[in-house]
């Protein structure tokens, strides 16, 4: 059910109907409602299920001994690599936040939490790297990340080094060694 939901929500947006969701998942509406209170809960669960894999794809490996600067750049390098594939991995989280106007929607909450974890990781690395204002730099990095994700997800832009060059400029300006 969650695989079908992730595929449909990614491809068609969050406004898909329960019938289409159940048909694609090969389950009855009754079965869906036995597992989830609503379509909104299915969307939230599908995003929640995807979040750890998304974070793991961006993060350096445990054996990678990277400086804070290298760690931040690694995330953007991974995002660039992933954006070149058929599925821009960040797009479902960003799409949920953009498409759902209610910040209390269960899927909005899950997507916002994923974004907040990434911003906190940026802030922690910026602090370790000696940034003059780690909080501001983390917000700027999220702006670049989300903007790049939106443009890559909409197939408006290929990232090909664009985000890493932009982030390098931000890191230099912020004093991150």
pLDDT in the model for residue 90: 54
18 lies in a domain? no
Q: Helix 68-83 to helix 134-153 angle, to the nearest 10 degrees?
A: 10
Residue 89 scores a pLDDT above 60:
no
1 lies in a domain? no
12 lies in a domain? no
Domain that holds residue 90: 47-174
Residues 6+ apart with CB under 8 A from 144: 76, 163, 166, 167, 170
34 lies in a domain? no
- Mean pLDDT of the residues in the chain: 89
And the tokens for 33?
């409602």
29 lies in a domain? no
124 lies in a domain? yes
Q: How many domains does the chain have?
A: 1
117 lies in a domain? yes
Whether the CA torsion 106, 107, 112, 115 is positive or negative: it is positive
CB distance 168 to 73 below 8 Å: yes
Q: What is the rounded average pLDDT of the residues 86-99?
A: 73
User: In 3D, which of 146, 172, 177 has the Cα closest to residue 159?
Assistant: 146
CA–CA distance, 143 with 160 (Å, rounded to integer): 18
pLDDT in the model for residue 4: 84
Residue 87 scores a pLDDT above 70:
no
Q: What is the CATH number of the domain that holds 121?
A: 1.10.357.10
Taking only the tens place, the pLDDT of each residue in 26-71 is 999 999 999 999 999 999 999 999 888 878 878 877 667 899 999 9
Taking only the tens place, the pLDDT of each residue in 107-133 is 999 999 999 999 999 999 999 999 999
39 lies in a domain? no
């Amino acid at each position: 059910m969650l695989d079908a939901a992730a595929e449909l929500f990614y491809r068609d947006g969050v406004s898909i109907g329960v019938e289409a969701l159940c048909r694609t998942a090969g389950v009855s509406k009754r079965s869906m409602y036995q597992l989830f209170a609503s379509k909104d809960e299915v969307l939230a669960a599908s995003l929640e299920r995807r979040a750890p894999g998304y974070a793991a794809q961006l993060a350096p490996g445990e054996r990678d001994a990277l400086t804070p600067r290298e760690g931040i750049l690694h995330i953007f390098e991974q995002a660039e690599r992933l954006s070149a594939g058929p599925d821009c991995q960040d797009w479902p989280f960003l799409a949920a936040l953009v498409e759902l106007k209610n910040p209390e929607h269960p899927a909005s909450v899950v997507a916002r939490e994923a974004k907040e974890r990434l911003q906190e990781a940026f802030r922690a690395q910026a602090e370790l790297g000696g940034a003059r204002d780690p909080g501001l730099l983390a917000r700027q990095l999220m702006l670049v990340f989300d903007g790049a994700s939106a443009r890559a997800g909409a197939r408006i832009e290929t990232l090909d080094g664009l985000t890493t060059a932009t982030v390098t400029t931000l890191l230099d300006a912020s004093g991150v060694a």
